[in-house]
Structure 1
């Protein structure tokens, strides 16, 4: 897989963590590097490990659905991206009160924001893509986005959340179309 595609995919996957980090940043009373590093590392860990888990699960199904793998990738990324776009356009109010000092809360948020990375890892196994480099890029990108989101949340508040989710959703849907078109015209 091309490095640019991996970076775009990692950026799209990091959007949920970024949006949650903005919300968490609103809860920060002041800049505290240790708290911001802890949250960013937890989000990065889950975003980096979930594709590996999904990839491992997908290896068991490769022979069964190898003739339809591009459709599965397209549907998974399209669904995840579409869901992100839909949620971004709903304009629903969410509570901006996250207990960012609780490791349990941050771990649950890390898991919740990385479920899409599990599906991407599953897709990678269908495409016969090695997982180590993508997992590292996804984890590192998520760390940077999370730290940046915390900083933005601390300074600017929650005004960007829906726009960020919308951009992430569009990127995922676009990558899904790219995979489908490459396989149809290959």
Structure 2
């Protein structure tokens, strides 16, 4: 996997955490830098671990699907991309009267919820010749930076930017899936 593809994947995987962080930052009003860094650290760590879990599961099943691995990678990446596009196009739910809690449990649950797609991508990465540690670290670092920044940006621009970014990330994942399919079928 080229450095460009790793970067596109890392940024795409971290956009859902960015979108949530923008909304969280908007809801909290004026989050402090320490709160933004804490959010980024939790989201980044979880987002780096989940593709490793998916990769291990995909590696275990790779011998069973070797003949169609490029189709599986395409379907998983495109499926996650379509899901992100649908989520970005939904009408946001009305804001709650009180801002979201700052508890670690709620933050961790949110981080896990936004990283499930990274696990599915990890499965597809097991079918490709990639250095999963490099990819997982890139995803974790991108998520840390985007989540921390999203918290700070959220207080300025609100949740709309997060939805636009999520739509762009969905399109990028679909494009990545198409490029994998094209590389295998065109060769």
TM-score, normalised with respect to structure 1: 0.95
Equivalences, count: 186
1:85 and 2:62 are equivalent in the alignment: no
Whether the aligned pair in 2 keeps the contact of 1:91 and 1:162 (CA below 8 Å) is no
2:6 equivalent in structure 1: 6
Shift of 1:92: 3.5
Q: Does 1:182 align with 2:183?
A: yes
**2: CA distance between counterparts of 1:60 and 1:171?**
27
Q: Quick check: 1:22–1:161 contact (8 Å CA) kept in 2?
A: yes
| SS at 1:129 equivalent | coil
Give matches, 1:37-186, under 5 Å. 37-95=37-95, 99-186=100-187
Cα distance change, pair 98–65 in 1 and its aligned pair in 2 (3 A): farther
Question: How much has 1:158 moved relative to structure 2?
Answer: 1.7
Give the superposition deviation at 1:35.
1.1
After superposing on structure 2, the runs of 4+ consecutive aligned residues of structure 1 that deviate more than 6 Å are none
Shift in alpha-carbon separation, 1:182–1:98, aligned structure 2, 3 A: farther
Contact 2:28 2:100 (8 Å CA) reproduced: no
Structure-2 separation of matches of 1:158 and 1:150 = 10
1:24 counterpart = 2:24: yes
CA distance in structure 2 between the partners assigned to 1:28 and 1:49 by the alignment: 27
CA RMSD of aligned residues (A): 1.4
Q: For the residues of structure 2 that align with 1:48 and 1:39, how far apart are their CA atoms? A: 14
Q: CA deviation at 1:100?
A: 4.5
Evaluate the alpha carbon distance shift between residue 83 and residue 94 of structure 1 in structure 2; reply closer, same or farther with a 3 A threshold.
farther
